[in-house]
């Protein structure tokens, strides 16, 4: 991502961090910061000597990215969420609350899907495989196959979860 035009060639400010300082403080590799920047998740600017600098407030964005990734949230979803927050300043309470409420709903739906998967792992997900000893009990004659391809029980549950959220 190109540096903010208003910052290009600007003098270093005391709250700004070099790429090494940012990486150390955020607990990530320098290459990770470069990747996040190339993906439009964070921003930096360049000094007149062409040194990359980060506003300290970018640490919050990196923290959110790291936590979200550790939970398996795709970068595209993280980018969308971060895109709703202001750049160049910390979000105010109202802005953060708006984004976090929407994200909370998505996380709640994800949790419901994970719980359903966990609960069905030892049973039938309606794949029509007929390879488990219990398939004749859950899916006699592969009746789920007549409903369409894929894990039919799981797909039906997904639809119910989406309608409920």
Same domain as 74, residue 5: yes
Same domain as 100, residue 77: no
Same domain as 109, residue 76: no
Domain membership of residue 114 as a residue range: 93-165
The pTM assigned to this predicted structure is: 0.66
Same domain as 31, residue 14: yes
What is the per-residue pLDDT for 2?
Answer: 42
Q: Is 53 helix (H, G, I), strand (E, B) or coil?
A: strand
Cα–Cα distance for residue pair 97/99, rounded to 1 Å? 5
**In total, how many domains does the chain have?**
2
Same domain as 109, residue 81: no
Same domain as 118, residue 60: no
**Mean pLDDT of all residues in the chain?**
83
**131 or 59: whose pLDDT is higher?**
59
Q: Is 148 helix (H, G, I), strand (E, B) or coil?
A: coil
Cα–Cα distance for residue pair 107/85, rounded to 1 Å? 18
pLDDT tens per residue, range 122-155: 777 667 665 666 677 777 777 888 888 888 888 8
End-of-domain residue from the set 74, 91, 108: 91
| Residue 98, pLDDT above cutoff 70 | yes
User: In this prediction, what percent of the chain has a pLDDT beyond 70?
Assistant: 84
Same domain as 125, residue 81: no
Q: Which of 45-59, 78-92, 118-132, 145-159 has the highest mean pLDDT?
A: 45-59
Same domain as 87, residue 144: no
Same domain as 55, residue 14: yes
Contact yes or no for 154/124 (Cβ under 8 A):
no
What is the per-residue pLDDT for 12?
Answer: 63
CATH of the domain at 29: 1.10.1660.10
Q: Is 150 helix (H, G, I), strand (E, B) or coil?
A: coil
Cα–Cα distance for residue pair 155/126, rounded to 1 Å? 9
pLDDT tens per residue, range 4-39: 434 554 556 778 999 999 999 999 999 999 999 999
What is the per-residue pLDDT for 25?
Answer: 95
Which H or E element spans position 96? helix 93-120
What is the per-residue pLDDT for 13?
Answer: 74
- For the ranges 10-14, 69-73, 79-83, 150-154, the lowest mean pLDDT is seen at 10-14
Q: Is 52 helix (H, G, I), strand (E, B) or coil?
A: strand
């Amino acid at each position: 991502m190109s540096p903010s035009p208003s910052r290009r060639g600007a003098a270093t400010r005391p709250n700004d961090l070099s790429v090494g300082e940012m990486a150390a403080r955020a607990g990530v590799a320098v290459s990770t910061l470069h990747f996040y920047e190339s993906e439009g998740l964070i921003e930096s600017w360049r000094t007149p000597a062409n040194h990359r600098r980060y506003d300290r407030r970018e640490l919050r964005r990196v923290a959110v990215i790291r936590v979200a990734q550790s939970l398996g949230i795709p970068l595209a979803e993280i980018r969308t969420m971060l895109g709703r927050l202001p750049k160049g300043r910390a979000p105010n309470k109202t802005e953060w609350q708006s984004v976090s409420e929407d994200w909370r709903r998505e996380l709640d739906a994800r949790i419901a899907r994970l719980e359903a998967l966990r609960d069905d792992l030892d049973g039938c997900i309606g794949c029509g495989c007929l390879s488990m000893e219990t398939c004749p009990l859950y899916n006699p004659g592969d009746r789920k196959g007549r409903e369409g391809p894929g894990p039919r029980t799981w797909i039906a549950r997904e639809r119910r979860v989406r309608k409920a959220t």
